[in-house]
Amino acid sequence: MSTEPTQAPGTSEGPLAGYLVVDLSRALAGPHASMMLADLGARVIKVENPESGDDTRGWGPPFVGPADDPQSTYFLSCNRNKESIALDLKSDDGRQVLRDLIERADIVVENFRPGVLDRLGFSPAAMHELNPALVILSITGFGHDGPESSRSGYDQILQGEAGLMSLTGSGPDDPQRVGVPIADLLSGMYGAFGLLAALLQRERTGQGQVVRTSLLAALVGVHAFQGTRATVAGEVPEAQGNHHPSIAPYGLFTCRDGSVQISIGSEKLWATFAGAFGLDASRPEFASNADRVRNRDMLKGEIQDAFGRFDAAPLLEKLGAAGIPAGKVRTLEEVYEWDQVLSQGLLIDVDHSVLGQISLPGPPLRFFGPADSRELTNTTHAAPPVLNQHGDQIRSWLSRSLERS
């Protein structure tokens, strides 16, 4: 554990204030996990290679900022509240600085292919020899063992391999990827969850451990009801567009000037919805949810006819007045201008050393006091760092720490 209190560069406090995270990861899965920890107040030191840094610094367009120092918006998305130090881990100096960091860390996050860190001299056993209380998160593509563990893991490849693309798209002949790198994001979230559990166990035992997850595991872990359709019911789920496979009506419908989505999840809601739009709720074809699922195409046609007489705004107003869960499909521009999003702290302003003030999507968690409901959420954040932005300060801190030890 760190020899002195540490905190994220942009935060004043948080549930993880005082914990030190050494982030050896790059791209998205590991950086997303470590950013979650930084949002909670941990001090996250991002270790990057001196030549180009994290791979995502070069992923674009879009790039923003001056032509001679362009900044990748991809990198900006997953590295807020971190410090950056550039280390050549093939050099004696780089390895020594990393050893010094590991000795003081609570957590190490890495997403190298299996065996890479071992060859650099930083296997889990070697890291635990330096720091027995260390909690290590290791994220791989297909898992750290098994017959295909050596394969490189990239998000879209795993979306296909883990079956997600077979469930996504307009139909079984139109497999589509999810519009964000969902395998990376979910493995990062599962990883952060596992880390916190391991930290709790360390409080009882004093011992560190290795937490392992993978892009494959994360996607299989969210198969949810589609998974049990396959394993229990023996069905092979297929993509069927913007309508729920087990609930009807539940999905997207068009109206005169756009589209709306509705979710009818109970028989009471169905009766209310049908009455509001002149449908016969008791027809044998529509009498139960199972009936409506079996006769989905017929039901969709009748709803489409009813909705076709409305523009989107009055249709949503009518649905809201009837208590029917409904919504529109927003562009991201509309999302970040939406007062509800702003009210939840989901857009934050930070001062970037190259770009000046920029707005970023914000942390999804909020914290409140137990009695007075006073909000405890940290609202001060640091911009993602430029390469080696904090290298000198980190080396100075390590030197002072060594002098005291």
Spatial neighbors of 217 by CB under 8 A, at least 6 apart, are: 143, 187, 190
Cβ proximity of 300 and 355 under 8 Å: no
φ, ψ of residue 58 in degrees (nearest 5): -105, 5
| DSSP state for residue 26 in the 8-state scheme | -
DSSP string, 153-213: --HHHHHHHTTTGGGSSSSTT-----SS-HHHHHHHHHHHHHHHHHHHHHHHH---EEEEE
Query: Nearest-CA neighbor of 246 among 167, 183, 325, 175?
Result: 167
d(C-alpha 76, C-alpha 154), whole Å: 19
How many CA atoms does the CB half-sphere of 91 hold within 13 Å?
A: 8
Tell me if 327 sits within 8 A of 316, measured CB to CB.
yes
CB 34 within 8 A of CB 20: no
257 catalytically annotated? no
Q: How far apart are CA 334 and CA 368, in angstroms?
A: 28
Buried b (16+ CB within 10 A) or exposed e, 87-117: bebeeeebbebbebbbbbbbbbbbbbebeeb
Joined together, the tokens standing for residue 283 give: 């027809």
Name residue 135's beta-bridge partners: 107, 209
- Amino acid identity of 115? G
Supply the Cα-derived Rg of the chain in whole angstroms: 25
Q: Which of 184, 291, 339, 349 is catalytic?
A: 184
Asked if 237 and 225 touch (Cβ cutoff 8 Å), the reply is no
Residues in the chain: 405
Q: Which residues are the active-site residues?
A: 184
